[in-house]
């Protein structure tokens, strides 16, 4: 939902969604019975405000696909796009340049103003190496075809719980994903001009995915981030706080079973209106 110019100065946009839109168990649960599969993205985008595209992690997409997806969602809807595993699942990250270039050459920018952050996800076995990780961040393009590009990294090894990692991110202005997960490190340090959260503790036995109290708590955190604050109940690595300024927020309800993920996302959307 568009905000007035006055409100926009006080708070960033909050985008909430799920990972992907093609998932058979959602048919008849999230998607209406007998809803055409070709129109699933259109339906999902009418109920959510963002979707994380996962297919780009596994292989190249075509420019026509990005254009088609952009056409099927309403104004104000934003995709996040997962960067290719060929760039992140390598021993020497400094050698990822060709994979990153190829990724952008596949037509990602065809999403136009529907393109949000690119998520670079690292394996749980990947340990923090300050020099090599810094070389990777240097490879990420900050601008292309006259438009600013946003990047966020998802690290899943405890060695990244280090002040040197946060300092490196601040040097480049690139945020780290806040992961609500049973085993991955939870790093809530705010870096850059947006916040990216992946909520991965949903319960498919609950119609709303999360209990109401947890949904209320997450809605408040998302609103606090958007207003430039930092939740006191989430763990940070560095004791210092970031500059207080409005930030866009991207939050995705993603858990192993994921049947109730759309319901959880819609509950959050209602709470942050």
Q: How confident is the model over 191-229, as pLDDT tens digits?
A: 999 999 999 999 999 999 999 999 999 999 999 999 999
Long-range contacts of 4-13, Cβ-Cβ distance < 8 Å, separation of 24 or more:
8/246, 9/246, 10/227, 10/246, 11/223, 11/226, 11/227, 11/228, 11/246, 12/194, 12/225, 12/226, 12/227, 12/246, 12/247, 12/248, 12/249, 13/226, 13/248, 13/249
- Domain extents in the chain: 5-272
Nearest-5° Cα angle at 166, 197 to 20? 25
3-state SS class at 9: helix
pLDDT digits (tens, 9 = 90+) for 3-38: 444 444 689 999 999 999 999 999 999 999 999 999
d(CA 250, CA 238): 22
Which pLDDT does position 240 carry in this prediction? 76
d(CA 164, CA 157): 15
Length in residues, the chain: 273
Q: Which CATH number fits domain 5-272: 3.40.50.10800, 3.90.420.10, 3.40.50.720, 3.20.20.410?
A: 3.20.20.410
Estimate the crossing angle of helix 130-139 against helix 163-172, to 10 degrees. Answer: 20
Structure-token match 């809530």, residue found: 188
């Amino acid at each position: 939902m568009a905000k007035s110019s006055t409100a926009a100065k006080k708070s960033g946009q909050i985008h909430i969604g799920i990972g992907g839109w093609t998932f058979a168990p959602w048919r008849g649960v999230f998607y209406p019975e007998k809803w055409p599969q070709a129109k699933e993205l259109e339906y999902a985008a009418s109920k959510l405000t963002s979707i994380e595209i996962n297919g780009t992690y596994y292989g190249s997409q075509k420019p026509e696909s990005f254009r088609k997806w952009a056409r099927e969602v309403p104004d104000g809807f934003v995709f996040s796009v997962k960067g290719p595993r060929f760039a992140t699942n390598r021993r020497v990250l400094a050698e990822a340049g060709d994979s990153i270039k190829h990724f952008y050459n596949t037509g990602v920018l065809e999403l136009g103003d529907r393109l949000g952050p690119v998520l670079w996800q690292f394996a749980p076995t990947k340990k923090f190496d300050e020099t090599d990780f810094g070389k990777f961040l240097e490879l990420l393009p900050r601008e292309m075809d006259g438009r600013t590009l946003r990047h966020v990294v998802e690290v899943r090894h405890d060695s990244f719980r280090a002040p040197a990692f946060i300092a490196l991110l601040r040097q480049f202005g690139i945020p780290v994903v806040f992961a609500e997960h049973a085993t991955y490190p939870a790093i809530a340090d705010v870096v850059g001009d947006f916040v990216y959260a992946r909520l991965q503790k949903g319960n498919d036995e609950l119609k709303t995915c999360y209990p109401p109290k947890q949904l209320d708590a997450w809605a408040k955190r998302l609103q606090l981030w958007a207003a430039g604050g930092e939740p006191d109940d989430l763990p940070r690595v560095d004791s210092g706080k970031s500059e207080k300024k409005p930030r866009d927020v991207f939050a995705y309800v993603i858990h192993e079973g994921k049947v109730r993920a759309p319901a959880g996302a819609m509950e959050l959307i209602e709470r942050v209106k």
